[in-house]
Amino acid sequence: MSSTSRDIPLVYKRAIQRAFVKGYYYKRARINSAEMLAEYLSISQSTVFTYKSTDDDLFDLNKLGRKPFEEERTKRRILHLARSSGENSFLTQKEIISQCSDLASEYFIKKTLRDALNDGVVSHNKQSIKPYLNSNQIDSRLLYAFFESVKYDYNKVIFGDEKGFQLTPKPETSMLYHAPDIDLPYILKTGTNSKVLMVWGGVGMNTKLPLYFFNRSVDSYAHISAMQTELLPFMRRNQDQGWHYLQDNAPCHKSHHTIDFFKENNIPLIPHPPSSPDLNIIENVWALLSHKVYHRNRSFQNVEQLKTAIINAWNEITIDEINKFVESMANRINAVVDAEGRQTKY
């Protein structure tokens, strides 16, 4: 039952006047009329119109909103937290809001952070997820960067790998605020997530091969089937152009059956150092594809919907985008050398 104008809370009266004086209703709640506003607040329409036109000083807009506070002191506190660069002191926006909520409104804190970002006073980025590297893997990466990589023309390489997709997007790492000259620490990769759809893809300079969708778990035989369907026809069409194939060291890639298949079909392989996704540009293409598939946290009801979205997103990836990744290979090799074999920014 609707409330009368005499017993509605004061905040309701203020909400009514603010809605009309500002020239809008509660747009986010999809309220666009006095009738809907009355229903939303559980009051009568007559009450809405009564307080719409009141001239009482109590409803002066200058007296509405958050309480006064020392803005400069609060801004300094917010920016101090956002610029923190000590060990484990990187904060998300939510954490900064929780630590400053007694000083300012959430709106003021967000606006301060946004202005600081626009002015270059602070930065924010997502933490990168990097694989763990032991001493043997670090040595292998260095040997590859120094000696193996100079043997190949990466403009004549197909970079390939499998990628697993889920019906719902994986939780993303949070955006962390920091001073512009501070690099975020990376997160060591741990564990795996269950996948409902496995896909193989291959890219190279001016080249994007069709996707291959697996209908079973990816073992050596399934992997060979993907190679026969998508990679082998390309290699045969271009057998005189000196193309190589690069893949990681997954068990199905290194099995005797798989290696024999490549030898029998004269597909030259590039040896790939262990735990080195930064040296296979298909990982960057997968990241771009996932961003398109799960844009705005999109989720899917079934595998067919997911498959359609993946195909559409793959078609949207341009050759220019792929070429930029290929052209970055020289910089990636140099980055491994500069990092003495350890993780790089790629």
pLDDT the model gives residue 6: 56
Contacts of 72 (CB under 8 A, 6+ apart): none
pLDDT the model gives residue 18: 67
pLDDT the model gives residue 42: 79
Residue 80, both tokens: 């101090």
Burial 304-315 (b: 16+ CB within 10 A, else e): eebbebbeebbe
pLDDT the model gives residue 302: 92
Instruction: Specify which residues 158 forms β-bridges with.
Output: 245
Residue type, 46: S
pLDDT the model gives residue 103: 81
265 phi and psi angles, rounded to 5 deg: -105, 15
Comparing CA positions, the residue from 234, 273, 256, 263 lying closest to residue 156 is 234
Half-sphere exposure of 153 (CA within 13 A, CB side): 6
Distances (CA, A) of 163 to 33, 194, 200, 247, 314: 49, 12, 6, 12, 13
124 and 178 Cβ atoms separated by less than 8 Å: yes
pLDDT the model gives residue 319: 97
Q: What is the Cα gyration radius of the chain? A: 29
Q: Which of the residues in the chain have pLDDT under 70? A: 1-7, 17-32, 52-70, 85-88, 172, 189-194
pLDDT the model gives residue 187: 72
DSSP 8-state symbol, 153? -
pLDDT 10s digits, 229-248: 999 999 999 988 999 999 99
CA distance 326 to 89: 36
